[in-house]
Amino acid sequence: MPGDDIAVRTEDLSKLYGTREAVVGLGLTVPAGRIFGFLGPNGAGKTTTIGMLCTLLRPTLGDAWVAGAHVVREAALVRRRIGVVFQEQTLDQDLTALESMRLQAELYGLSRPAARAAGTALLGLMGLDDRSDGVVRTLSGGTRRRLEIARALVHGPRVLFLDEPTAGLDPQTRAAVWEHLRLLCREHGLTVFLTTHHLEEAEHCDRIAIIDHGELVTEGSPRELKSVIGADLVTLRTDDDERVAETVRRSFGLSTETGPDGVRLRAPDGAALVPRLCAELTVPVRSVTVDSPTLDDVFLHHTGRTIR
Amino acid sequence: MSSATTSTPGSATTPGSTTVGGGSGRRAGPLATDLRTVRILWRRETVRFLRNRARLVMGLAAPLLFLFVLGNGIGSASVGLGHYQAFLFPGMLLMVVQGPAVAVGTVVMWDRQSGFLRQMLVAPVRRGAVLAGICLGGATTGALYALPVLALAGPMGLPYHPRLLLVLAEVVLLAFALTALGVAAAVCIRRPETFQIVSGLAMAPAMLLSGALFPVGGLPSWLGAAVLANPLSYGVDALRRTMPEPDTGVPTPAWFHAGPQWWGWTPPVLLELALVVIPSLLLLVLAGRRFARID
């Protein structure tokens, strides 16, 4: 069984629907107190994995432990120790924000005064103090999302699962949600396990696992993953792409790709290469761009296609 | 690998350094947990009921319309049917509680659709207790709907007799049974549209063939069989036999109490109630199983 510093661990975790493999042989280790991102395109098996970790789906094969308890054999224990925010909205439209909080808290066994106190405190933490008496139906999308996160935390879980937490939110609200999540991790030692298909969002995570077609592709911190690519992408727009490609190959020993957007090549320190490159080239250069590697490059590198 | 996985349940009481909210709180026994779950879900239903004024008005309007317009109309059109309004009374009680029962079913349907129930499913509570709480909430709202109708007993030709309290108790029981039926249907049917069609198709004939609107004594045999097979018939008859006799001064006609009979034998009121409550409880248990199943 994983120790206290491991929030989630899976071994050979698999889920089959008939013969369709939703998740295959997943082995994950999520350290406690971090934000862990589960990145993959739609339909990659992210939600199925969350379902198994939250005890809503029974794994076909393999094992998983969440907050120190086994998801099948000790499901009740897991449920008590986790908070879940689903992809779709699960608030009760007719209740007020505070009522939603109290209902959830009491459902997890908090006494009425404790439920009220915890509800009020978390609404404050998520910046919803002034909305506590607002009926959910009347709240905006971003407010509802924050309320859902607050509600998932009201019983003091060790691990918070978020399925696409900022889907459909405007950039401002998205930033606010992220700020709150980081605060929770830093100050309360909470582990956040979230799924996303947004690359920008994955950048915020301490660690990322990339999943595709139900299989783990790679895992690490965003920096580590990008360092595997090891090089910046330099794109040149010139009058004669063929000649440029030839020169780069001959003088710098770098392989190139020629596409509609010009000549693309990868180099460890792209910005430093540009002046030397331009000095060598005899063809007029119209523009040069240098991009450091993105997670999309990482995804492309491992799966041979882009995530979008 | 997966050998050493046993963890003492007691460790859950010490969430350790990771507590954000109120902690995991008291640990109660399983029965206490179930009762708490039932209470919480019950409260949610009643809060929703009181908050939705439009539903409240609509739920009362239709039965009262029936009671006054149909009751007065038919009662005055035929001298022999002078007791018709009083006759209609139990049927109207059933009709008002049927409204919230279907409404609760619809809510469960949408809760499932919207994901509210998933939120319940990841909570450390028994799913059966969740359903029981929802049904009790439906029973309570049903009874609240029935109160204004009961208050109109006098104008309907029924004396204000303590037996009306017994009627109220029966209404609560029947409301619970009907809600259980609605919830069971909602759990078993996947699409809200289908649920609406099914509840509409099922409720109309069930009301018509229950003895709520006309005496079922003189029906042709095939319709009579349908009446006997209809659980609502027993509910209506139980209510009618429990409520006080109409105080119109004239003796109550024989058709008034011509309820369902089994080969000439009239089942006692308690058995009639059981015939409504027990099948719906069974259905609810089955629904609970289905609801609890994880794929």
Query: What is the nearest CA distance from B177 to chain A, expressed in angstroms?
Result: 25
A272/A180 same-domain check: no
d(CA A76, CA A54): 10
Closest approach of A163 to chain B, Cα-based (Å): 13
Q: Is the same domain home to A165 and A266?
A: no
Of A213 and A230, the structure prediction assigns the larger pLDDT to A213
**Is 70 exceeded by the pLDDT of residue B182?**
yes
pLDDT at position A117: 93
Residue A209 shares a structural domain with residue A110: yes
Q: Is B75:B82 a contact under the CB 8 Å cutoff?
A: yes
Do the Cβ atoms of B123 and A32 come within 8 Å? Answer: no
| Contact: B120, A56; criterion CB under 8 Å | no
CA dist list (Å): B178 to A270, B150, B190, B203, B213: 72, 19, 19, 10, 19
Tokens of B4: 């050493």
Residues in chain A within 8 Å Cβ distance of B114: 88-90
Phi, psi (deg, nearest 5) at residue A185: -65, -45
- B15 contacts A156? CB cut-off 8 A: yes
Query: Closest chain A residue to B117 measured between Cα atoms?
Result: A90
How big is the A-B interface in CB pairs under 8 Å? 148
Instruction: State how many domains chain A has.
Output: 2
Q: Which of A29, A80, A160, A191 to mutate to test the interface with B (most CBs of B within 10 A)?
A: A80
Split at pLDDT 50, 70, 90, the class of A84 is very high
| Average confidence (pLDDT) over A140-144 | 86
Do A107 and A162 lie in a common domain?
A: yes
DSSP element (H, E) containing A14: strand A6-17
The whole domain housing A272 covers 231-292
Domain CATH code at residue A246: 3.30.70.100
Percent over 90 (pLDDT), chain B: 3
Assess whether A111 and A194 both reside in one domain: yes
The torsion angles phi and psi of A20, rounded to 5 degrees, stand at -80, 125
Per-residue model confidence (pLDDT) at position B294: 53
In a shared domain, residues A148 and A268: no
Q: Are residues A149 and A195 in the same domain?
A: yes
Q: Cβ of B122 and A190 within 8 Å?
A: no
Alpha carbon distance A55, A80 (integer Å): 11
Question: What is the chain A residue with the closest CA to B29?
Answer: A109
Q: What is the DSSP string of B58-123?
A: HHHHHHHHIIIIIHHHHHHH-GGGTTHHHHHHHHHHHHHHHHHHHHHHHHHHHHHHHTHHHHHHTS
Domain-embedded: residue A1: no
Q: Which residues of A touch B121 (CB under 8 A)?
A: 56
Mean pLDDT of A225-249: 84
Give the model's confidence band at B118: pLDDT under 50 very low, under 70 low, under 90 confident, else very high.
confident
Residues in chain A: 308
Tell whether the model's pLDDT for residue B212 goes beyond 50.
yes
Mean of the pLDDT values across residues A8-24?
Answer: 91
Q: How would you classify the pairing of strands A215-220 and A69-70? A: unpaired
Q: Phi, psi (5° rounding) for residue A145?
A: -65, -45
Largest CA distance in chain B: 85
The pLDDT value recorded for residue A181 is 85
Closest-CA distance of chain B to residue A105, Å: 8
CA dihedral B246, B248, B253, B256 (to 10 degrees): -30
- pLDDT class of A37 with cuts at 50, 70, 90: very high
- Position A96 scores a pLDDT of 92
Shared domain check, A248 and A206: no
Asked if A132 and A151 sit in the same domain, the reply is yes
Pick from A115, A131, A108, A53: which is nearest to A86 by CA? A53
Q: Which residue of A has its CA nearest to B12?
A: A77
The whole model's pTM is what?
0.77
Q: Are A79 and A234 in contact (CB under 8 A)?
A: no
**Residue A50 with chain B: CB contacts under 8 Å:** none
Interface with chain B: mutation pick from A17, A94, A122, highest number of B CBs within 10 Å:
A94
| Least confident among A124-133, B194-203, B272-281, B286-295 | B286-295
Residue A226 domain-assigned?
A: no
Residue B17: pLDDT over 60: no
Residues A78 and A200 in one domain: yes
- The 3-state secondary structure of A276-295 reads HHHHHCCCCEEEEEEECCCH
Pick the residue with more confidence: B251 or A258? A258
ipTM (interface predicted TM): 0.73
What does the radius of gyration of chain A's CA atoms come to, in whole angstroms? 23
Query: Does pLDDT of A101 surpass 90?
Result: yes
Does B51 sit within 8 Å of A155, measured CB to CB? Answer: no
Supply the CATH number for residue A201's domain: 3.40.50.300
| DSSP 8-state class, residue A261 | T
Residue A2 confidence class, pLDDT cut points 50, 70, 90: low
- Give domain limits for chain B: 29-292
For residue A305, being part of any structural domain is answered with no
Split at pLDDT 50, 70, 90, the class of B66 is: confident
Choose among A56, A68, A107: nearest Cβ to B40: A107
Lowest mean pLDDT among B5-19, B162-176, B239-253: B5-19
Are B273 and B234 in contact, with CB atoms under 8 Å apart?
yes
Distance from CA of B41 to the nearest CA of A (A): 8
Which H or E element spans position A20?
A: strand A20-31
The torsion angles phi and psi of B262, rounded to 5 degrees, stand at -105, 105
Is B161 within 8 Å of B244 (Cβ atoms)? yes
Query: Which residues of chain B lie closer than 8 angstroms to A20, CB-CB?
Result: none
- Separation of first and last alpha carbons in chain B: 25
Same domain, A39 and A140: yes
Which residues of chain B have a CB within 8 Å of the CB of A163?
none
Distance of alpha carbon A122 from alpha carbon A119, whole angstroms:
5
Chain B residues whose CB is inside 8 A of the A27 CB are: none
* Mean pLDDT computed over every residue of chain B: 78
B48–chain A nearest CA distance, Å: 6
* Chain B residue nearest residue A87, CA to CA: B115
Mean pLDDT for B156-184 is 88
What is the structure's pLDDT at B28?
63
Dihedral (Cα; B63, B105, B177, B281), 10-degree rounding: 170
**Distance from C-alpha of B62 to C-alpha of B58, rounded to nearest angstrom:** 7
- Which residues on chain A are in Cβ contact (under 8 Å) with B295? 57-58
At A293, the pLDDT band (50, 70, 90 cuts) reads confident
Judgement on whether residues A121 and A15 belong to the same structural domain of the protein: yes
